[in-house]
Amino acid sequence: MAVLLLILLAYIGLMLSIWPKRIPPEIDFWQAAWPLSSQLFALMGVLLILPVIIGYSAWGDYVFRGKVHQGEAYH
């Protein structure tokens, strides 16, 4: 738990150190966002890839079902 806390604190420290430099103050939120065409392209990618990932995970669960029984795990 201490290692996880240390990693979390390191990421928080990194985020705080680069936050002011990520978006210049003269650019507002809407100017910094992706254009609509880029967002739609990313959405199409997610809509195509996500079912593949879910299907592959379901297939893996189906293939390995029943391989380990109660009490056969590592101790």
Give me the pLDDT at residue 11, please: 93
Domains of the chain by residue range: 32-65
Measuring CA to CA, how many Å separate 11 from each of 14, 19, 21, 60? 5, 12, 16, 33
**CA gap 72, 75 in Å, rounded:** 9
Tokens standing for residue 45: 């990618």
Enumerate the H helices of 1-75 as residue ranges: 2-22, 29-32, 36-63
Give me the pLDDT at residue 4, please: 96
**pLDDT, tens digit, for every residue of 18-49?**
776 666 777 777 777 888 898 999 999 999 99
